[in-house]
Structure 1
């Protein structure tokens, strides 16, 4: 139970400071665990690594900003990515589409300029992409993608 409470503090810290550089050492200190133990327990508790969880929080916030009409270059820095290219890579990995495609699909659903069949097809496609995003954020990806992500995480010293 104590680990769950300390992990909740780390998770709350990630959600409050997603737009800043966050290190595993900071999160482990909040949880009163070693860095390696924290990473293991976090993955067991939440189904994804701390870095993947942080990226998921950033992408969710980015989606909201994009739908509000904020330019992609501004969104990238607002949510804590180094630059627009870094943001675009993570967005595409998580959502299966680029930020501009995300905006276009959402606009097509909302505009209602197409016939009912077209609107339905766009809505179904968007729903499928959202389900894929949720699966990625929850840590359910194909094994090859999982191995690539693990390899990247091993080389990172900050989140």
Structure 2
């Protein structure tokens, strides 16, 4: 049976992810099929009943669902109102084929920490993703998934590693515009991506992607005050486009890049209306 659907899908420029899918189905039912990727599923409304390897399962808001590659499954709404879901497709190698059997045995995880991590990753995966933020959030999702599949879920220990934190900070400063590949940076320091992010956050006081965005905003401000047009400043400062720059500029300074640039052309002493506070 095929019913109405609302579907948005794209391929993110994030290593390890092959596709992002956000969808709402009313009365659609999936026939039995397989994927060549791990399917990481969040149900936001309703519930889904499915068979995996001929065994019945259910997906709802209370669990995170992980369907392994190459294993037949179907899907249908449990209730008349349909369901809404967010899905990430992960490359097979990212979790390893040796974990497929474990996911067949237990494809659902009732874990609020994992659900929050996956949801935050979706928030970072706009069609023009913040590369470093998405890479960081994916690393923490994968860490938790591997722990569940290996039956070794633990509370992470505090990480204090000034050597790798300072090395990443130097790398971010040197590659302000081009950005940094998190996995490569971690391998360069001989640590895991999650160790690197935790070490940096502990040392600097904010995560690497937020540090990088702040430094890019600083560069954009200098370029704007030098007279460069806002549309050119965006790419020159490492942002995807002008809208991307404007979104972060507003968040940081509560104004637009164009308005910030115009402020430099006001006569001296007229930056604030009479009676206003500079605050």
Q: CA deviation at 1:118?
A: 3.7
Q: How does 1:80-91 map to 2 (within 5 A)?
A: 80-91=238-249
**Structure 1: 5+ residue runs without aligned partners?**
129-159
Q: CA deviation at 1:103?
A: 2.0
Distance 1:3 1:114, change over 3 A: closer
Q: CA deviation at 1:29?
A: 2.5
- Correspondence for 2:216: 58
Q: CA deviation at 1:106?
A: 3.7
Distance 1:8 1:118, change over 3 A: same
1:39-71 CA distances to partner (integer Å, 9 max, x unpaired)? 111111111111111101110001000000001
Which has the larger strand fraction? 2
User: Which segments of structure 1 move beyond 6 Å, counting only runs of 4 or more?
Assistant: none
Alpha-carbon distance in structure 1 between the residues aligned to 2:187 and 2:173:
16
The number of equivalent residue pairs is: 120
Alpha-carbon distance in structure 2 between the residues aligned to 1:24 and 1:57:
17
Q: TM-score, normalised by structure 2?
A: 0.39
**Structure 2: 5+ residue runs without aligned partners?**
1-159
- Correspondence for 1:155: none
Distance 1:43 1:113, change over 3 A: closer
For residue 114 of structure 1, the aligned residue among 251, 262, 270 is 270
Q: CA deviation at 1:121?
A: 4.2
For residue 79 of structure 1, the aligned residue among 234, 237, 252 is 237
Matched, 1:100 2:247: no
Matched, 1:8 2:166: yes
- Correspondence for 2:62: none
Q: TM-score, normalised by structure 1?
A: 0.66
Task: Give the root-mean-square deviation of aligned CA atoms.
Answer: 2.4
Q: CA deviation at 1:94?
A: 1.6
1:118-141 CA distances to partner (integer Å, 9 max, x unpaired)? 47847x2xxx4xxxxxxxxxxxxx
1:89-109 CA distances to partner (integer Å, 9 max, x unpaired)? 11111222111222233433x
Q: CA deviation at 1:86?
A: 0.8
**Alignment check: 8 A CA contact 2:165 2:200 kept:** yes
Distance 1:91 1:114, change over 3 A: closer
- Correspondence for 1:49: 207
Which has the larger helix fraction? 1
Larger Rg: 2
**Alignment check: 8 A CA contact 2:249 2:257 kept:** yes
